[in-house]
Structure 1
Amino acid sequence: MMRNSSSTGLVNMKQKTLNLPEELIIQILLRLPVKSIVRFKCVCKSWLSLISDPHFAESNFKLAANTPTYKLLFIAKSAPETRSIDLDHDAMSLNSSASTTVKLNFLQLPPSSYSSLGIVGSCRGFLLLNCNANIFLWNPSTGVHNQIPCSPIASNVHAYLYGFGYDPSQDDYLVVLASYERNTADLLKHLEFFSLRANVWKEIEDTHYMNAGFYWNGCDPRVGSLLNNAIHWVAFHHDTVVNHIIAFDLIERRVSEIPLPDDFEHESIDYELWEFRGLLSLWVHHEEDDTVNIWVMERYKVQSSWVITLVVSFSEIPTQYFSPICSRKNGDIVGTDGDKGLVKYNDKGQLLEHHSYDEYPYVSLAMYTESLLSLPVVGDRELAS
């Protein structure tokens, strides 16, 4: 009996697939999207072992560095659920194919607590979450998570600056926290960081900085901008009451000052640092003409290199507000409308899209990059659940 030629071809194809060199299979897997790789853990034990290997995850992250997948994560107000949007997709609708649902069940919080949950940092695929002084690290792509131990001095303090970053010299993640004591007349301040690898908090002495919006907005916490192995905030020196950018160097583990633009309006309270086109940037809100000025520091730490590269008008937005979050690979700028929606402009400052999410009220949102990375190991114990 003659075998059907198409069946023979299928068998041969399967045999060839199964006989691919292991190195070639690894190289193919390394170049796949994180979402696909996570699913492929179920293929066989050898793939599960390979994909779970920290070296594989690091290689995948480095290969994807030139073309990373950027996501925008929304945390809902009343449910242990988040929604994620692919920022490189053409549509920003939560009902589009670019949107996925991610569960936050590991927090085990009552529904009433989700209104207090905020994203206060993002680095290498991990998000730093804060809820009623409890701090968590979470990789939405893999589900890896861990709760950070409370600071020894945290019981009587109010946090006003948060930061989260990676020290490549020691393969270590640092959580940075600036706070002041609530019940002291002289406003004692603390700046400390937690090392995941050492599993310990350490305070930096002689802290003189306060949140630049302290006197106006009741010291709402600011989230640091991560760039050049440093975390950046706008803050004022408590002795001089002069605004500066302060930078916490993640490798040297020390603080330095970076000057703001000479023409920066210090009386403005609506501004924030962010990364724009790979450079340290500052956006400033101007209500009088419905615009946002985007400053860029073209040479890092050189004050004279500050320039206004873009002026964005938000007069067409019903909420009359716009705050940038991130810029896409094609130059588009994505931000919030200050209420319940997202806004997109092109690299010329022209409005492209505005989406309101009235049906999905959220309390916090942040950008992250997909990754397979896990957390450092302390002794024989991996910091992951």
Structure 2
Amino acid sequence: MVAAAEVVACNEDLITLILLRLPVKSLLRFKCVSKKWLCLISTPNFSSRHRRLASASILLSQIPGLISHLSLNCSSSEKPFSSLDFIDDSAGVKLLQSINGLALGCSFHKLGKPRSYYVCNPSTRQFLTLPPPNAEGHDSFATVLGVYLAFDPSKSPHYQVVCVRNCSLSAAHDRYQIQIYPSETRTWRLCGSPFASPSDIMFETGVLWNGAIHWISPTGATLCFNINQEHLGSMPSPPSDEHWSKRRFRYFGESGGHLHLVEIYGPSTTQFQVFELERDYSRWICKYQIDISPIVDAFPEMVRDYLHPHHHDSLFYAFVLLFVQETEEGSSLLLHIPGKLISYNLRNKSFKEICDSGPKSTKTNTALHIGCFHAHQFIETLASV
């Protein structure tokens, strides 16, 4: 028995294969076993190989800063973290974005306290407080409209933070400025000149895809900012129902290298389309045709009559589209319905209730609070901030 253990301990290749399959929390402890293990786990090559083997999950963030991990295969493995409380901020910290294992967070609003922004690795509990951008006469983060984290460890160990802020003294003449914070320099720098934008562009809900941040507005206007080229442009306006004056966006996000958008017109429809933007920005295509009426039949608590209780055609179907997931194994849609989380298979139209239904409030409270959850992709990493 001892001889076998010694053989394993002396076989660096075998030890590496074992360590690569462990969660980050365990690897941090095992760094203390020996200098040899510390050196092995700390190498960039080990970090890269570990990231490729790590299983992905979906994070659900919920006020007041609670975070749940969803595994669509009902995995019961230990959850690596449940909040960002390792960041010392008296106001508390909420999750804004998760990308390749790193996360962007900001403090909750607290009277008399300026908002702070953080880049962190929730798995290692390491974090960095971002300095306020150069506000040129404004109150630092008070003028910030959107902050985004860009990190692709397959291309570089470094990350960038992009900030969009209002640089106009008059609200009647809105001008915006982009600033970039590279992790190599640890300082903000201006990017390009101030620019004009439609007043209804939703800078707070930008989506990172294809090396650029993308924004849309309820009137169909679009903007995109290529981070590496530092170029501001636009993308095609998605198809819409001409009978409605404003877009009815219910989902805008990225998964598996695909940018998706869903619009739903009217509260009583169970049918909608998932659009995908071509990688060359030529057009939006209809990727999936969805009909969730079988889900409504299975979960009648989705049917509400809040609008006009005596009119059958005014029924309201209560659901929130949380996430469109594209993987090599398949594609699925994550929905939040009253008290439940549902995974809908986009290929064969089947659906199932998620085994781990996230925060306990979803199990005990049958109400549906629009926007109470925000879904993010997550994969563990050893990357440093």
Shorter-chain TM-score tier:
0.7 to 0.9
Residue deviations 1:226-252, cap 9 Å, x none? 22222222248xxxx7512x3322322
> Is residue 128–residue 136 contact of structure 1 (8 Å, CA) maintained in 2?
yes
Q: 1:89 aligns to what?
A: 73
Specify whether residues 356 and 52 from structure 1 end up closer, same or farther in structure 2 by C-alpha distance, changes over 3 A only.
closer
Q: 1:370 aligns to what?
A: 380
Q: 1:70 aligns to what?
A: 57
Distance 2:258 2:264 in 1: 19
Residue deviations 1:136-157, cap 9 Å, x none? 0111111121111111116164
Counterpart mapping for 1:285-304 below 5 A: 285-286=264-265, 287-303=267-283
* Percent identity between the two aligned chains: 21
Which secondary structure state, in structure 1, belongs to the residue aligned with residue 382 of structure 2?
coil
Q: 2:179 aligns to what?
A: 192
Which secondary structure state, in structure 2, belongs to the residue aligned with residue 209 of structure 1?
coil
Residue deviations 1:243-288, cap 9 Å, x none? 12x3322322222211123446661243342124532211213324
Distance 1:211 1:142 in 2: 40
Counterpart mapping for 1:188-267 below 5 A: 188-203=175-190, 204-210=192-198, 212=200, 222-235=204-217, 243-244=221-222, 246-263=223-240, 267=246
CA apart distance, 1:198: 1.7
Amino acid at match of 1:74: S
Distance 1:201 1:341 in 2: 42
> Is residue 294–residue 309 contact of structure 1 (8 Å, CA) maintained in 2?
yes
Q: Structure 2: which 5+ runs fail to align?
A: 110-114, 304-316, 366-371
1:124 aligns with 2:100: yes
Instruction: Kindly tell me the number of residue pairs found equivalent between the two proteins.
Output: 338
Moved more, 96-105 or 293-302: 96-105
Specify whether residues 291 and 276 from structure 1 end up closer, same or farther in structure 2 by C-alpha distance, changes over 3 A only.
farther
> Is residue 319–residue 335 contact of structure 2 (8 Å, CA) maintained in 1?
no
Specify whether residues 197 and 312 from structure 1 end up closer, same or farther in structure 2 by C-alpha distance, changes over 3 A only.
farther
Corresponding residue to 2:4 among 13, 38, 43: 13
Distance 2:380 2:29 in 1: 14
Distance 2:342 2:167 in 1: 38
Which secondary structure state, in structure 2, belongs to the residue aligned with residue 222 of structure 1?
helix
Which structure dedicates a bigger proportion of its chain to strand?
Answer: 1
> Is residue 173–residue 195 contact of structure 1 (8 Å, CA) maintained in 2?
yes
Q: 1:162 aligns to what?
A: 147
> Is residue 174–residue 195 contact of structure 1 (8 Å, CA) maintained in 2?
yes
Specify whether residues 242 and 227 from structure 1 end up closer, same or farther in structure 2 by C-alpha distance, changes over 3 A only.
closer
CA apart distance, 1:29: 2.5
Distance 1:356 1:171 in 2: 32
1:59 aligns with 2:40: no
CA apart distance, 1:129: 0.5
- For the aligned residue pairs, the C-alpha RMSD in angstroms reads 3.4
Specify whether residues 211 and 281 from structure 1 end up closer, same or farther in structure 2 by C-alpha distance, changes over 3 A only.
farther
